[in-house]
Structures are given as structure tokens and as C-alpha cells.
Amino acid sequence: MRFVIGVVLALSVGIGAYLGYAQMAATAGTNSDSAVTVRLQPRVVEYGAVRVSVSGVSAAAVSVRPKGANDLRGLAYEWTPYRWRRLRLVRGRWRGVIPAPPLFGLYRLQLRAAQHSRLLQEPDWLLRVLPPGALDGSAFRSPKAVIRDYVSDLPGNQVLVTDRLRPQAAYDHRDPRLLRLFVIAYAPRGNNTPNTRRGLFISTFRDGYHGRWRLLEATVSPNG
């Protein structure tokens, strides 16, 4: 059952991103100055797996993992790092399949290549593990703006009473630059008494390191 709550390396060549037909690609330089291209299909996944295709890496072996993700074989509510997944060289491209991590969010992909002394990673190499429609909702400049918008749409003319950033659990290693967790309280407008207040746990995310923030989940318990 899904459990929910929810060393950047600078490379020498610039980054390019190409989106289309449910694929995502990004480019970056390597030690040999050849372009590395990472393609994911589908671009967004809820459950299941994502097909990975990597080109531009000259090595005897290449593996991939989503940074900060929990391994599917680990115990619930315990930190078990996602295992490296070995890719196969097929017609000049390194290909493979990686299962979606159990926690929603955006994960930066890392490549480990033989003969390369450093991990390869770029800000645009993002695995998006999101519920349906998460990218269709309104986007805002800050997580708190997401919360205010969510409360304003609740029935009964509700207003936000308080919001507090909630630390991530010990098992949750998702990137806080892409995910923020809050506990909030709200009440009917003009009737803010202790017995009228209600609480929720709110998860927000941004689509990329410079993207806008959106609602990920609203739950009545921290674990969904």
C-alpha cells in the first residue's frame, strides 16, 4: 500500500530540455564533452514504471536511480534508499525500466557510469510521480498561496487560521526544494473558535526547481 506524507554536480556543457508526446529529454555535458540525453516515457506516472533511455554516455555499464526515493522493497515508514537499476545497451542507447517510487513527488535522476568518476545529474532530469491531474491545477509563486487557494474553495466560506511547515519524516528524503509539507487549521469566516476549527495535512510541489507551486495532496492524517 502506498504510504504518503511525500551534491548537485555542475557539468561543463549547457542543458537543453525537450518535451513532446509524453517524453522528457534533457542534455548536459560529460567529462568527454559529449551530450547526454535522458528520455522518460511516460512523462508523469502515478503507479507502475517508467521507461528510461539514455544516450551520449560512453561506458561499459550505466545504472540509474531517482535521488531521495524510497525502495519499493523497503518497509513502510522506514528509510530504504532506492536501489540502482542497471540499464542495457540497445542500438547505441542505454535502456531500462524503473518502478515508480512509493511516495508522490518529483525526483532528480542520477546516472552512474563506469569509467566516470562522478555521478551524472542535471536539474531537468526529473521523474514525476504524481496523482492524476496534479499538473492541471492552479499554480502559484509560493506553497502558502497554494494553501490559501485550497481553503478558499472549501464549502462553508472557510478561512485559513494558521499554517505551519511540517518537518519531513525520517523515512522521507524527497527534495524540499520540490516538495513542502504543512499542517493547517481553518474555520468558518467570522466564527473562529476552537470547536469550529478543522485541521488538514497539505502537501505542495513545484514542477521543476524554478517552477510554480501546486497542490499535491490534502489529507486528514500525516500518512494519508
- Distance CA(197)–CA(193), nearest Å, equals 7
- Secondary structure class of 81 (helix, strand, coil): strand
23-41 pLDDT per residue, tens: 333 333 334 434 899 999 9
- The per-residue pLDDT for 142 is 97
DSSP designation for 140: B
pTM of the model: 0.81
Residue type, 102: P
- Considering the domain 17-129 in this protein, what is its CATH number? 2.60.40
* For the chain, the helix, strand and coil percentages under 3-state DSSP, each to the nearest 5: 5, 40, 50
What average pLDDT does range 10-33 have in this prediction?
A: 33
Contacts with 10 (C-beta within 8 Å, 6 or more apart), sequence order: none
Bigger pLDDT: 18 vs 80 = 80
Q: How does residue 119 score in pLDDT terms, banded at 50, 70 and 90?
A: very high
* Residue range(s) of every CATH 2.60.40 domain in the chain: 17-129
DSSP designation for 195: G
Strands, E assignment, 12-69: 17-20, 23-29, 35-41, 44-45, 49-55, 62-66
- The per-residue pLDDT for 17 is 30
